[in-house]
Amino acid sequence: MDFSRDFIALACRKGVLRFGAFVTKAGRNSPYFFNAGLFDDGESFRELCGFYARSIRASGVACDMLFGPAYKGIPLVAGAAIRLAEDGVNLPFAFNRKEAKDHGEGGTLIGAPLAGRVLILDDVISAGTSVRESVDIIRAAGASPAGVVIALDRMERGKGTLSAVQEVAETFGIPVIAVATLEDLISFLADSPELAANLDAVKAYRETYGIASTR
C-alpha cells in the first residue's frame, strides 16, 4: 500500500521511528524503536489518524463501531472516527477507563454503547494484553470483536513460532490490520539514501527474530 510508505516517512520525520541500538521489553537488541506517543501535535496526529482511517477502509473489514483501549487507544479512536467521518463514513466510538467511576455516569466505558461488530484501535501489539482485555469488554457487552488496527506490525516471534500479531489473530479469530509492517519498513529503507545505512541491521534483526512473510 502506498500509504504505508507515507506513514513510515511521517514516523521518521517526527522521530516516532528511530534507528540505533535499543533494548525491547523482551530484552532483544533492536536496531529501531517505534513510539507512537511521539505523534504529539495536531498536524502529525491528524495525519496518523488519517492513515488509520485509510487502513480501515482499504481492509474491507465490516464493522459497526470503533473501540479504543485505555490509554493510547483513546485519542486514536476519536481521531480515526473524525477522519472516517470526513470521508463520509460515520461510525460510533467508545473507549474505556482503567478505573471505574463511582459518580456521574459511572462505570468504565465512555462513548457509544458497544454493539454489533466492534473494531479495536491500538498503537502496537506487544504481548496482546490490551487486545485480550478489549475483547473481554466487547463480548461482555454482547457485541463481537471485528478486528484490530495497529500502526506498526514488527513481525517478531513471540515465545513460540508466531508473532504477537499472529497469536492475537489466531486466538480470537479476527484480522489484525497494520498501517505498516516490518516488510514495508525494509522496503522504505532500501529506497531511502539518507536511511539506507540502517538497512542491513534491520534485515539482520528480522533474520534472527522475524516471522515468515504475512502477505
Q: Please give the residue range of the domain that contains residue 19.
A: 2-209
The answer on pLDDT for 1 being more than 70 is no
- Residue 103 included in any domain: yes
pLDDT of residue 98: 79
Nearest-angstrom CA–CA distance, 181 and 179? 7
Question: What is the value of pTM for the model shown?
Answer: 0.93
Is 103 among the catalytic positions?
yes
Domains held by the chain: number: 1
Domain presence at residue 214: no
Q: Is residue 78 part of a domain?
A: yes
pLDDT (0 to 100) of residue 143: 98
The string of pLDDT tens digits covering residues 32-45 is 999 999 999 999 99
Residue 157, pLDDT > 70, answer yes
Write out pLDDT tens, residues 121-132. Answer: 999 998 788 999
Q: 58-71, pLDDT tens digit by residue? A: 999 999 999 999 99
**pLDDT of 214 above 60:** no
In a domain, 215, yes or no: no
Does residue 84 lie within any of the structural domains? Answer: yes
Name the active-site residue from 25, 72, 98, 101: 101
CATH number at residue 92: 3.40.50.2020
Residue 173 domain-assigned (yes or no): yes
Known catalytic residue: 203?
A: no
- Once rounded to an integer, what is the mean pLDDT over residues 165-177? 95
- Answer yes or no: is 93 within a domain: yes
| pLDDT for the residue 208 | 94
Instruction: Give a yes or no: residue 121 inside a domain.
Output: yes
Count Cβ atoms below 10 Å from residue 32 Cβ, excluding itself.
Answer: 20
Q: Give the per-residue pLDDT at 102.
A: 57
- Which residue in the list 98, 103, 159, 203 is annotated as catalytic? 103
